[in-house]
Each structure stands twice: as C-alpha cells, then as structure tokens.
Amino acid sequence: MTCEHEEIGTLRKIKDKHNLTLSIEKLRKAPVNSYVRVRITLLLNQISIIIPACDELDEANSTNQLLLLQLVLMECEAFESSTDFLDWANSEALNASESKVMELYGELKTEVPKLREIIGTDIKIISDWDFEMNAGAAYELRNLSNS
C-alpha cells in the first residue's frame, strides 16, 4: 500500500471537487533568457481560466494533470507574493523592459483572482524547496501517471 503525500491529496481534491481539466500550450515567443514558459488552461465548472506559468524543467504535459495544477498554484503564489510588476519580474528572473513580460503579468493580474475566487487561497501545495530538489511529494507528483 502506498501512502500519498498530503499536498498531492490536496491537489487531487481540488481537481475532483471542481471537475477540473487542464491543458498546456508552450509559448511560441517566450521572454528572452527565461525558463520555458507555458500557458495552462484550466476548465472548471464550465469556466476557462488561462494562467501563464514557468515550467523550468520543461516537464509539464497534459497527462499529469496534478503537476499542471501544482505549476499553476506555484505561479499564483509567486504573483500574489510580489508587490508589483517589477518585483514579480525580478523574482521570476525576467527582463521587465520586454513587452512580453508585461503581457504575462497582465494575464496573471486578470486570471489569478478569478481562479482564487473559485478554489480559494488557503491551499497547501508542494514547497518550492521540495519541488526544486525533487524531494518527497514533488518526486511522487512527477512520477504519477494519468492523474
């Protein structure tokens, strides 16, 4: 019997509660010198929300729905913890003078509140440290199939 990490259980509950389906599209023109940027579309309760996200390891695919949800929630947290556009761009290691970067920020400013209104804000996701080190719940999440 395997024991699922609490954070993965949380992601699964969100997905199931809202009958959530996620899809991914890589940005054709990502900001210069940035990690892979994607747009993740969340279809929940017949509402479509599109969140631009960082896929640093270029690992996201539509078969691992919980990984996509984790990337979305990490992006929401990064956006919400920033004080303004410049703070967000710096924390994401993006060049604030690029118009594409301002466009991504504008999308987050519009879409994150819509998503939070539906799924809430008090959500325990996999920590940045575990995600970066591929430890614990992050390791389990990346090895899920057809979630």
Determine the pLDDT at residue 122: 87
Strands (E), the chain: 21-26, 37-44, 47-54
Domain spans of the chain? Answer: 6-140
pTM, to two decimals? 0.90
- Decide if pLDDT at 81 tops 70: yes
Q: Shortest CA distance to 94 belongs to which of 105, 83, 106?
A: 105
Q: Shortest CA distance to 77 belongs to which of 43, 144, 125, 146?
A: 125
The DSSP call for residue 10 is: H
- Span of 9-13, 32-36, 50-54, 91-95 with lowest mean pLDDT: 32-36
For 116, the token pair is 């939070």
